[in-house]
């Protein structure tokens, strides 16, 4: 599929060494915590030990008297921020709640909620000062799960919340139900066809209930921010973020100052996966800097990351799907409740829009709810919302395939969405490559090789994610020696500099080594949305290509000028400008670059794009096949083999595309098997370290096979779809289905940790023994 189409490219599809590679293997790359400025102070945050408590008073006087303490802030130092629903990149943010999350005011709403912060001459002094701050709390009963929070008699987290029914993701919604406080601020419903008739037509109906645990993005680099408030009122922030412009907009809203007064310099970023699309420390460091008059650096420790930064939602799901004997799905009814954490804004809408999106289903109803609980406010995490709801539905599909006695890949193929199939939310798909991912798995050596041995099983599942469009800017500078620099606003979180350099090199016909990609700050490049939503290679790649084309157009004018011709009499191809007349005039880009001064001055190509709303471009699908072996004595699951086939549209740099797929599967395996938060009865987090919040290690995983399916995206000049997220959607169900085929136990709860699986296996064995006994008796 791929090879024929990629022949038209010289550089795209190859695997050059990334331009920022040497800095990153030698320890020279500067991440957020590596920045230091003269006279810098260190800030630390005091966090609530209560999951739900009224803050009656905060006394900072003893802390203030500690030598070395230079500034202290509490909620009283922050301006009141009115609730505005701001679309910030792919996020919809309520600025009022963002402000309350950055620093608690009347109430602490989760264990770890910031209540005060100190800046001191060292982090040790700052930590000592935190212990001297006296907070008088009135503890309130915590509400820890969506199920509890939805009960009519549940304690209310935020008095002003009412349930609102939304028609689509960005709709503010209209009131639903009685006008009384609610922990369920959002409800979205997608409905089509006739459910009752659909289920009546089914030969088999499977109805199940699922629970998934909240999981953390697990980036290895904790959040950080270094803020410098100048005497001129200008604020500069250095931080690790997925979007410098996001940080600027959000910080301005929390501090109630103009965006133009803030410059955000994005550092190298040590992982994000969505978790670094919002802000935590930035406004706090800024206020501490304003009070002290000195630069203030704040770096979270791991416990703070786990207690207070966004995980993704745990969910409760009820799924009912019917199918005919031939495997055709006749109806599906899905109910989803997403834990948002302490403030509204879970990915409940995308969760509803993505589940079952891979399938053509005529009769469908999906309800999804946003539910506040006394946990940290969730943040985006790789295909936000889709993995949990897909887990539920893809497990039910496996049961149906078994009842229909149809191979699980074939079952999905018979129901697969194609171009023109309506998505759950209504609009039809453009050209997509879902069926191609199924076919790729079916043809893989992995799937064609039977899996033998006791306690071993194979599972398959699929998933969908929109992929982002949004805004990007790029400039392409032609230097006098023919080298090129390309500046974008997209932070490089996984090799996107390489992709951008390759696009520019391809367009200009120069060597990729001659293109230097640069990540600009908010003052040096036009607005660019987050590195997230699988949008960087896609949308910023579009901007970079157009900027290169703009440079070519300008260079064409210069070549024409040299030869005293009109620009339309000059043609550019493969790095060479040629006269269309029969005079043999030609000049290479490199030669022409040396003559820019004499032909009118420097050439800077520029482009800005709005690549459309999230979901409007680049839809991506993946199918995952996993083999597992279950230890019958402990319930521990070992992953024997894993293969992912994903429609990537076009792989710009296949190594980094494969890397995205492999990383997504690895995170999915952690979500499936180990990762969860343990809260005690009082709502305090007990596993706030990486020993007990157990992410997959090198020993937990096999090599991860990747199949890059290339069905070019018709909405992109290079066919790119974006690749970062969808790979995390299928693995949880694939593992669950594999466990069933290994030991005959259907798992309805994530993670499928050894203790949970062992309990279910023992129940199964006991039931089998009882059945035998009663049969014998």
Partner 1 sequence: MANKVIVEININGDPVELLCEPRQSLLEVLRDVLELTGSKEGCLTGDCGACTVVIDGRPVCSCLMLGVEAAGKNVATVEGLASGMSLHVLQQKFLEHASLQCGICTPGVLMSAKALLDRNPNPTEAEIRYALAGNLCRCTGYDKIVRAVTDAAAALAGRTHPAHGTVPSETASGMAGEMLAKGEAK
Active site residues: 725
Cβ-based nearer residue to partner 1, 596 or 695: 695
A 10 A CB-CB count for 305 gives 25
Do the beta carbons of residue 473 and residue 523 sit within 8 Å?
Answer: no
Residue 496 contacts by C-beta under 8 Å, 6 or more apart in sequence?
490, 531, 536, 537, 540, 656
- Phi then psi for 683, rounded to 5 degrees? 85, 20
> What is the C-alpha to C-alpha distance for residues 466 and 532, in angstroms, rounded to an integer?
12
- Name the token pair of 305: 């990351």
> What is the C-alpha to C-alpha distance for residues 741 and 733, in angstroms, rounded to an integer?
12
- Phi then psi for 322, rounded to 5 degrees? -115, 145
> What is the C-alpha to C-alpha distance for residues 111 and 98, in angstroms, rounded to an integer?
17
Least distance in Å: CB of 300 to partner 1?
Answer: 10
Q: Which residues bind partner 1 (CB under 8 A)?
A: 15, 17-18, 20-22, 24-31, 33-34, 36, 124, 217-222, 268-273, 299, 301-302, 493-495, 653, 655-656, 658-660, 662-667, 689-691, 695-699, 701, 703-704
Cβ-based nearer residue to partner 1, 124 or 443: 124
Do the beta carbons of residue 621 and residue 534 sit within 8 Å?
Answer: no
Report in angstroms the alpha-carbon separations of 719 from 4, 12, 441.
14, 11, 22
Strand partners, 478: 484, 603
Cβ-based nearer residue to partner 1, 703 or 773: 703
Least distance in Å: CB of 220 to partner 1?
Answer: 4
Least distance in Å: CB of 267 to partner 1?
Answer: 11
Least distance in Å: CB of 417 to partner 1?
Answer: 28
> What is the C-alpha to C-alpha distance for residues 275 and 311, in angstroms, rounded to an integer?
7
Cβ-based nearer residue to partner 1, 31 or 204: 31
Do the beta carbons of residue 430 and residue 445 sit within 8 Å?
Answer: no
Cβ-based nearer residue to partner 1, 24 or 686: 24
Q: Three-state DSSP class for 51?
A: coil
Report in angstroms the alpha-carbon separations of 548 from 296, 507, 554, 608, 653.
39, 6, 10, 12, 18
Least distance in Å: CB of 133 to partner 1?
Answer: 21
Cβ-based nearer residue to partner 1, 330 or 660: 660
> What is the C-alpha to C-alpha distance for residues 224 and 341, in angstroms, rounded to an integer?
22
Cβ-based nearer residue to partner 1, 477 or 662: 662
A 10 A CB-CB count for 36 gives 11
Report in angstroms the alpha-carbon separations of 727 from 73, 337, 388, 667, 740.
42, 23, 13, 9, 22
Cβ-based nearer residue to partner 1, 309 or 715: 309
Cα-atom radius of gyration of the chain, to the nearest Å? 27
Least distance in Å: CB of 728 to partner 1?
Answer: 11
> What is the C-alpha to C-alpha distance for residues 653 and 621, in angstroms, rounded to an integer?
19
- Name the token pair of 478: 């032609």
Report in angstroms the alpha-carbon separations of 761 from 392, 394, 670, 734, 745.
20, 21, 21, 19, 7
Which pairs count as long-range contacts for 420-426, CB under 8 Å and 24+ apart, including other chains? Answer: 421/360, 422/192, 423/353, 423/357, 424/190, 424/352, 424/353, 424/354, 424/355, 424/356, 424/357, 424/364, 424/366, 425/168, 425/190, 425/352, 425/353, 426/190, 426/192
Least distance in Å: CB of 500 to partner 1?
Answer: 15
Three-state SS string across 127-173, please? HHHHHHCEEEEEECCCCCCHHHHHCCCCCCCCCCCCCEEECCCCCCC
**Residue among 602, 623, 607 at smallest CA distance from 709:** 623
DSSP 574: T
157 half-sphere exposure, CB direction, 13 A CA radius? 34
User: Before 751, cis peptide (omega within 30)?
Assistant: yes
Least distance in Å: CB of 304 to partner 1?
Answer: 11
Least distance in Å: CB of 285 to partner 1?
Answer: 17
Cβ-based nearer residue to partner 1, 324 or 456: 456
Strand partners, 45: 117
A 10 A CB-CB count for 750 gives 29
Least distance in Å: CB of 195 to partner 1?
Answer: 40
Cβ-based nearer residue to partner 1, 33 or 340: 33
Cβ-based nearer residue to partner 1, 33 or 611: 33
| Token pair 């550092």 in the structure block, residue | 267
């Amino acid at each position: 599929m791929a090879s024929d189409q990629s022949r038209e490219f010289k550089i795209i599809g190859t695997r050059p060494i990334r331009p920022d590679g040497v800095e990153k293997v030698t320890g020279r790359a500067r991440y957020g915590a590596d920045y230091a400025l003269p006279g810098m102070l260190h800030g630390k945050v005091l966090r609530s030990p209560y999951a739900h408590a009224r803050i009656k008073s905060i006394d900072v006087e003893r802390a203030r008297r500690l030598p070395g303490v230079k500034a202290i802030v509490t909620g009283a130092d922050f301006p009141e921020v009115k609730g505005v629903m701001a679309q910030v990149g792919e996020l919809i943010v309520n600025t009022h709640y963002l402000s309350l999350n950055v620093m608690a005011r009347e109430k602490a709403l989760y264990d770890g909620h910031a209540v005060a912060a100190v800046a001191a001459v060292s982090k040790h002094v700052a930590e000592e000062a935190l212990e001297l701050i006296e907070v008088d709390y009135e503890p309130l009963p915590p509400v820890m799960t969506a199920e509890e929070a939805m009960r009519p008699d549940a304690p209310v987290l935020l008095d002003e919340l009412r349930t609102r029914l939304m028609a689509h993701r960005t709709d503010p919604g209209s009131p639903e139900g009685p006008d009384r406080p609610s922990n369920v601020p959002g409800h979205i419903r997608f409905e089509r066809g006739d459910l009752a008739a659909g289920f009546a037509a089914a030969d088999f109906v499977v109805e199940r209930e699922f629970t998934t645990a909240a999981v953390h993005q697990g980036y290895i680099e904790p959040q950080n921010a270094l803020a410098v408030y100048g005497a001129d009122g200008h604020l500069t922030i250095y931080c690790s973020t997925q979007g410098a412009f996001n940080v600027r907009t959000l910080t301005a809203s929390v501090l109630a100052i103009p965006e133009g007064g803030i410059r955000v310099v994005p550092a190298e970023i040590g992982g994000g996966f969505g978790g670094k699309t919002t802000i935590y420390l930035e406004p706090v460091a800024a206020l501490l800097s304003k009070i002290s008059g000195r630069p203030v650096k704040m770096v979270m420790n791991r416990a703070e990351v786990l207690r207070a930064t966004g995980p993704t939602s745990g969910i409760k799901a009820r799924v009912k799907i019917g199918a005919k004997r031939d495997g055709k799905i006749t109806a599906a009814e899905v109910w989803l409740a997403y834990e948002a954490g302490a403030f509204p804004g879970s990915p409940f809408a995308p969760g509803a829009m993505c589940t079952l999106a891979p399938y053509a289903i005529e009769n469908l109803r999906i309800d999804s709810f946003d539910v506040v609980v006394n946990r940290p406010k969730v943040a985006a995490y790789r295909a936000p919302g889709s993995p949990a709801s897909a887990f539920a539905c893809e497990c039910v599909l496996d049961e149906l395939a078994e009842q229909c006695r149809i191979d699980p890949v074939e079952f999905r193929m018979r129901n697969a969405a194609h171009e023109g199939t309506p998505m759950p939310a209504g609009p039809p798909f453009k050209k997509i490559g879902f069926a191609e991912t199924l076919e790729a798995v079916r043809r893989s050596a992995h799937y064609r090789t039977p899996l033998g041995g006791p306690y071993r099983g194979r599972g398959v599942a699929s998933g969908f994610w929109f992929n982002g469009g949004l805004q990007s800017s790029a400039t392409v500078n032609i230097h006098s020696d023919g080298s090129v620099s390309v500046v974008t606003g997209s932070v490089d979180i996984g090799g996107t500099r390489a992709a951008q350099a390759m696009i520019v090199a391809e367009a200009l016909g120069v060597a990729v080594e001659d293109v230097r990609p640069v990540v600009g700050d908010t003052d040096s490049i036009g607005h660019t949305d987050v590195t997230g939503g699988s949008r960087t290679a896609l949308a910023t790649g579009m901007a970079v290509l157009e900027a290169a084309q703009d440079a070519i157009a300008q260079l064409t004018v210069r070549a024409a000028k040299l030869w005293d011709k009109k620009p339309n009499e000059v043609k550019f191809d493969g790095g060479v400008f040629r006269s269309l007349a029969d005079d043999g005039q030609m000049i290479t880009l490199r030669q022409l670059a040396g003559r820019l001064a004499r032909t009118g001055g420097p050439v800077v190509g520029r482009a800005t794009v709005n690549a459309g709303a999230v979901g409007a471009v680049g839809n991506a699908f993946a199918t995952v096949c996993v083999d597992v072996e279950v230890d019958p004595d402990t319930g521990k699951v070992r992953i024997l083999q894993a293969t992912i086939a994903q429609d990537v549209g076009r792989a710009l740099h296949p190594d980094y595309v494969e890397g995205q797929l492999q990383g997504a599967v690895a995170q999915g395996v952690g979500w499936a098997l180990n990762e969860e938060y343990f809260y005690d009865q009082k709502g305090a987090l007990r596993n706030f370290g990486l020993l007990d919040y157990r992410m997959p290690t090198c020993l937990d995983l096999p090599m991860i096979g990747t199949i890059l399916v290339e069905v070019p995206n018709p909405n992109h000049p290079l066919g790119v779809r974006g690749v970062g997220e969808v790979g995390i959607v299928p693995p949880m169900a694939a593992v669950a289905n594999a466990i069933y085929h290994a030991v005959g136990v259907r798992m309805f709860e994530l993670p499928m940790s050894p203790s949970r699986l062992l309990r279910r296996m023992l129940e199964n064995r006991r039931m089998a023994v009882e059945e035998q006994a009663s049969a014998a008796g």
